[in-house]
Structure 1
Amino acid sequence: MTEAENRKAVRRAFLKFYRQWPTFGDDSDERAFAEWQALQPEERQAADAMLPGFLAFEAMNGRTVKFAASTYLREKRWTAVPEGMEGAGGSVIAATFGKAWMAERFARLGEPCARLPALTRFQELEIAEGRADRKALWRERMAKMGWTSVNAMNDQAVRFPGKGMRVSGEIALLGADFEAVRVGGDQWAAWEAEHAARGWPFLPEMGRVEWVYFPPLGAGTPGEALETFFGKLDRAKQLEAAQ
């Protein structure tokens, strides 16, 4: 390939990338192309391949991309997208108890509780005679029957811990900022209590697993962290519906 042909190829690759940029048409083509040329070939490829994932990640976090394409290229902002994510529409294999696996788990827990059968006559008698608490019985029933797909994830995690599961790229992005929580520690206990309060099934016996990923608490509570997570999940669904 001659030098002239190489320049044309670089320009064509740039235009393919640039036409996907949200502010295309209002942006500076010259500045963006200058930054594109300053990148190594593999960086240009990554900048283009990761752009859909980057835009989805920004949208999930409630951020509108208004800055120039040159900024994205100069600051190499595609590196904020989790490794291995080539666009938001693909799928990935999520390691058991890893970030993406836990994001999928919480996404499923965010669905409405399944319709539950009525309490048994024996349970009603126990309640009437003061030997059982109605709310506690319902929470127990919810944990066992309300989110069967989550219980299935727990079962697979115990029986086939190395198998993992396939999740969408959007879910993987949602779990990108999850933080590691030590099994049996204070934060672990706080998350277990949050699950119990909501009637959710908690994680199974962890065996030798020492760390599991949860939405970041910051200085807040598990409930506040979940509110943030479900807000991002809703925005991701809206983004998908708009495409």
Structure 2
Amino acid sequence: MSTESDAPGRKTVRKAFLKFYRQWPTFGDDSDERAFAEWQALQHSEREAAASLLPAFLSFSAMKGQTVKFAASTYLKERRWQEVPEGMEATTGPSIAATFGKAWMAERFIRLADPCARLPPLTRFQESEIAGGRADRKALWRERMQKMGWPAVNAMHEQAVRYPGRGVRVSPQTVLLSADFEQVRVDGNLWRAWEAEHHAHGYPWLPDTGRVEWVYFPPISDEDGPKAALAAFFDRLERIGRTSGAAAQ
């Protein structure tokens, strides 16, 4: 039977668990109770190892081409952090994400989560073209949004074309958010579906990827395709808190 003196200890354990759990790739779609039960079953030193080695575990899984989709309870019960090779330290600070790679794309979507910037009004010439039936207002506004609505995203695109080897600085949180991203072939059907989804929102689309044939996007788990995947990513971003690691370009 619990006693009053036990409460602070349980609160501390719960707080540490939530800090770990909110970084798990399937957070929100997972079983909180099951994961917490496994967390409580661990020794204090094991909890510390499970939490501190999580970024390294996700990075190691990505290096092997594996997507982490299993529950946090499985990670804890099977002590999966022990799979991390000795010497492979957890990411504790900003890192450079390769252009068009997982973390680079996650950073890009994080920036797209920002509201569209305030746009200047259409020009007199454009208004004249609309009045004469030679232009469509919605199309002109969409084009304006793509060019000026998300300047931080366009800055990434410009750098990707001019200096593809530079990459972009991202936070450990961004690396974690990208852990379950999946490859999409450039110019393939799914690529076109993602392009259409960007167009529907007025988002700027990706620039020429050069020799890169595969680019990473949020995972698609149902028939709704990119629309549902994008909504799920933004929802997860909102729930865990946005921590963009972008450096000033």
TM-score of the aligned structures, taking structure 1 as reference length: 0.70
Larger radius of gyration: 1
1:113 and 2:131 aligned: no
RMSD across aligned positions (CA): 3.9
- Aligned mates of 1:76, 1:101 — CA distance in 2: 29
Task: Give the distance between the partners of 2:109 and 2:133, measured in 1 at CA.
Answer: 35
76, 89, 108: which one aligns with 2:79? 76
Distance in 1, Cα, partners of 2:234 & 2:43? 38
Equivalent position amino acid for 1:32 in 2: L
- Picking from 139, 164, 173, the partner of 1:161 is 164
Distance 2:38 2:144 in 1: 59
Cα offsets for 1:86-136 (capped at 9, x unmatched): 26x632211100110000001101100000000000000000011100000
Partner residue of 1:22? Answer: 17
Tell me which amino acid in the other structure corresponds to 1:229. F
- SS state of the match for residue 181, structure 1? strand
Q: What residue is the counterpart of 1:57 in the other structure?
A: none
* Corresponding residue number in structure 1 for 2:94: 91
Q: Indicate whether 1:217 and 2:220 are aligned.
A: yes
Distance 1:80 1:232 in 2: 27
For structure 1, the 5+ residue unaligned runs are 1-17, 37-43, 55-60
Instruction: Determine the structure 2 residue equivalent to 1:150.
Output: 153
- Residue identity opposite 1:232 in structure 2: R
Matching residue's letter, 1:145: M
Please give the alpha-carbon distance, in whole angstroms, between the structure 1 residues aligned to 2:50 and 2:149.
42
Say whether 1:235 aligns with 2:239: yes
Change over 3 Å in CA distance of 1:148–1:28 after alignment to 2: closer
Between the two proteins, what is the percent identity of the paired residues?
58
**Does the alignment pair 1:32 with 2:35?**
no
SS in 2 for 1:22: helix
2:103 corresponds, among 100, 104, 115, to 100
Residue correspondence of structure 1 range 123-202 to structure 2 within 5 A? 123-202=126-205
Does residue 226 in structure 1 map to residue 230 in structure 2?
A: yes
How many residues align? The count is 201
Segments of structure 2 that go 5 or more residues without pairing to the other structure are 1-12, 19-35, 58-67, 245-249
For 2:228, give the aligned amino acid: E
Asked if 2 retains the 8 angstrom alpha-carbon contact of 1:85 and 1:169, the reply is no
Report how far residue 138 of structure 1 moved: 0.3
